[in-house]
Amino acid sequence: MSLPKKHNKETKRLLKEVPTDIIAQWLLEEGFYPEQYVMPPSFQVKKMELQDDPYFIVDTTGAQQKFDPERSELVNVSFPKSELTDRTFGIISPKIYHDIVWYLMNEWDLVIKTIFNPLNKIYSYSFPIPISKNNEGSLGHLRAGRMIYEFLEMAETALVAEAYNYKYILKTDIKNFYPSIYTHSIAWAIHTKEVIRKKGNRTDFVNFLGLKLDRLFQSANDGCTNGIAIGPAISDLTSEIILSSIDTASSKVIDTKGIDYIGVRFKDDYRFLCQSKQDANFIIKTIQKQMALFNLTLNESKSQIDELPEGLFREWTADYQPFSLRYKRKINYKRFENSLRGTLKVDKKYEGTGVVDRFLSELSTKDNNLKFDFKDNDLLKAISLLLLLKERRNKSFPQILGIIEKIIEENKDKVRTINKIKLILENLLNEKFKNIEDNQYDLIWLIYFVRSLELFPIVYPSKIKSPMITSLKSNRLDFFKPLPAEIKLFETIKSPGRNTDLLTHLDLFKKSDE
C-alpha cells in the first residue's frame, strides 16, 4: 500500500473516532473566521453552539418545497496578491454558517462517504479538520494556514519515498478555484448530476443535502451561484467534497487504461507520479475533462511534466537552506541581515512561495522569544528592513508586527528606542489612512496592534466604510447586526499584557531551538 493511500485510510479512521458534536463545535468556533494571518485576534468566536434546530428550515407546506434562507452579503477583507490582483477572504453570516454546519452534521456519514470514496485513487492531504494520532477522538486548533506547510511537507515526503518506482512527475492546479466554484456543483458532487436533474429532484430540499448547501452558500453571497467564500473552514470542507467527487471520477477513467500512477492533492494543487509522458498527458486531460463538468478548469501556465527527480521537491527550500536561522539560538544583526538578503533573492527567484513566512518564523524560538542579539540602533534598522520586506509579501505583515511587538516587550525600558518605534508606526498608520480602501488589511492589523499595546492615540478619518475597522475603533463587532443572543463573535481589546500576543496567534511553522 502506498504512503498516500495509508494517509488517506488513517485520516478516515481518525475522523470516524471524533464525535460529530466535537466536529461541529470546532467548525463553529475555530472555523468561522478565515485563517489567523487574515484577521487580528479580536475577531474570534467567543460563543456559538450548534442549536437543536437550524435557523432556516425547508418549507414543505405547499405543493412544492421551498428553502429560502435570509440573504446576506459576505464581509470581505483583501490584501494585494500582486500588483494587479487581490486575494479576498470572506466572512459568512453566522446564522447561515451555523446552518451549513448543522446540515452537514445531520448527514455526516454521507459527507464522509463522498470525501473518502474507496474508488478514489487521488489522495487528499488537505482535509481541513485537524485530527491527530496523538489525540484520537478529539481535535486540535490547527487551521489550514499552518496545515498547508505541514501537509505539503508530508505529501512531498510521501512522493519522494515512492518516486523510485516511477519516471515522471506531473504537477498542476485549478485556475481561480474558490471564486470559480459553481454552488449547484455541490449537489452534483454529493448526489451526482444525473440524480439531481431527474424530474422532481431539483427542488427536493428535504432529501438532498447538496441542494440545501447550494442554497445556503448562495444566500451567504447575496444569491450568487458563482464562487464561495475563501477562508471559512466550511468552504474548505465543501471544496474537499467537490474535488473528491472529481478525483473519484478521474480515477475511474484513468483505471480503465491500466495506468500505473500515484496521485496526491493539497486543496487545488495536484501531483502525480507516473511512468511516461503519455500517461501524464492522459491523466491531465482526464482531470481537465472532469473539471469542466463542474465548471472548473486547470491552470495551464502552472501545469508541467518533469523527468524525475526534477520537479519532486519545492526548489526554494534548497536555495533557502544556507540562509535558514531555524537551528540558531541567537543571531546578531549581521547574520539577520545576511539571512534577510538571502530570503529576498530566493523570493525573487521563486515568486509566491512561503520563503518569507519561513524566514520570519525563524526569528523567534518555539516559545516565541526573539533570537535577536542586537544593539539599539540595530533594532531600528531591523524594523525598517522588516517593514520593507512586507512589500514583497503582504500577508507577512501580521508576522512582522508580531516581531515588533516582541521587540517592544523585550526593550520596554529603553524609552528612546521605543519612542522611535512608536513614531515609525504612527507615521505608517497615518499614511495608510490616506487610502483606506486599498489598505484595509494593513489597517486592521495596525489598529489592533496600536490599541492592544496602547502605543499612542489613534486619530481616525471622519468617514470609514470598513466594518472591520469600525469594529476595532469601537471595540465591538460592527457587522451582522443584530446578532442572536447565543452568538458572540468579537473579543474586546484589553489593556497591554492581557491580549493574545501576535506570534502566538500566528504560529505557522514548527520551530526548533536545537
Q: What is the pLDDT of residue 371?
A: 95
Q: What is the pLDDT of residue 145?
A: 47
Q: What is the pLDDT of residue 314?
A: 82
Instruction: Summarize the confidence of residues 164-187 as an average pLDDT.
Output: 96
Q: What is the pLDDT of residue 48?
A: 97
Question: What nine digits make up the cell of 123?
Answer: 489522495
Q: What is the pLDDT of residue 82?
A: 67
- Are 283 and 272 contacting, i.e. CB atoms less than 8 angstroms apart? yes
Distance CA 138, CA 144 (A): 17
Please give, one letter per residue, the 3-state secondary structure of 333-399: HHHHHHHHHHHHHHHHHCCCCCHHHHHHHCCECCCCCECECCCHHHHHHHHHHHHHHHCCCHHHHHH
Lowest-confidence pick of 25-29, 97-101, 389-393: 389-393
- Are 314 and 172 contacting, i.e. CB atoms less than 8 angstroms apart? no
Tell me what the pLDDT averaged over the chain comes to: 92
Q: What is the pLDDT of residue 174?
A: 97
Chain Cα centroid distance, residue 188: 24
Can you list the pairs that 78-87 forms with residues at least 24 positions away whose Cβ atoms lie under 8 Å? 78/440, 78/441, 79/394, 79/395, 79/397, 79/441, 79/442, 80/394, 81/394, 87/230, 87/395
Q: What is the pLDDT of residue 135?
A: 82
Q: What is the pLDDT of residue 211?
A: 98
Distance CA 492, CA 94 (A): 19
Q: In 3-state terms, what secondary structure has residue 150? A: helix
pLDDT at position 147 over 60:
no
Q: How far apart are the first and last CA of the chain?
A: 35
Distance CA 196, CA 207 (A): 11
Chain Cα centroid distance, residue 288: 24
Predicted confidence band at 84 (pLDDT cuts at 50, 70, 90)? low
Question: What nine digits make up the cell of 318?
Answer: 534548497
User: Closest by alpha carbon to 487, among 26, 40, 98, 91?
Assistant: 98
Q: What is the pLDDT of residue 149?
A: 52
Lowest-confidence pick of 48-62, 91-105, 140-154: 140-154
Predicted confidence band at 215 (pLDDT cuts at 50, 70, 90)? very high
pLDDT tens-digit map of 367-378: 889 999 998 889
Query: 313-339 burial string, b = 16+ CB within 10 Å, else e?
Result: ebebbebbeebbbeebeebebebbeeb
Distance CA 75, CA 65 (A): 30
Ranges of each domain in the chain: 3-307, 316-464
Question: What nine digits make up the cell of 248?
Answer: 473519484
Q: What is the pLDDT of residue 366?
A: 86
pLDDT at position 54 over 50:
yes
Instruction: Summarize the confidence of residues 443-454 as an average pLDDT.
Output: 97
**Pseudo-torsion of CA 374, 377, 382, 388, nearest 10°?**
180
Distance CA 445, CA 229 (A): 21
Instruction: Summarize the confidence of residues 152-181 as an average pLDDT.
Output: 90
Predicted confidence band at 513 (pLDDT cuts at 50, 70, 90)? very low
Lowest-confidence pick of 120-129, 235-244, 347-356: 347-356
Query: Considering the entire predicted model, what is its pTM?
Result: 0.94
Q: What is the pLDDT of residue 150?
A: 57
Q: What is the pLDDT of residue 65?
A: 94
Q: DSSP string covering 65-110, please?
A: -B--PPP---EEEEEESSSS-EEEEEE--HHHHHHHHHHHHHTHHH
pLDDT at position 299 over 90:
yes
Chain Cα centroid distance, residue 343: 23
Q: What is the pLDDT of residue 512?
A: 45
- Are 339 and 325 contacting, i.e. CB atoms less than 8 angstroms apart? yes
Predicted confidence band at 86 (pLDDT cuts at 50, 70, 90)? confident
pLDDT at position 201 over 90:
yes
pLDDT tens-digit map of 404-436: 999 999 998 999 999 999 999 999 999 999 999
Place of cell 439531481: 196
Distance CA 40, CA 445 (A): 6
Predicted confidence band at 141 (pLDDT cuts at 50, 70, 90)? low
Instruction: Identify whether 482 is preceded by a cis peptide bond (ω within 30 of 0).
Output: yes
Sheet holding 168-173, edge to edge: 122-124, 261-266, 269-274, 168-173, 304-307
Q: What is the pLDDT of residue 156?
A: 79
User: Which of the given ranges, 143-147, 153-157, 209-213, 310-314, has the highest pLDDT on average?
Assistant: 209-213
Predicted confidence band at 152 (pLDDT cuts at 50, 70, 90)? low
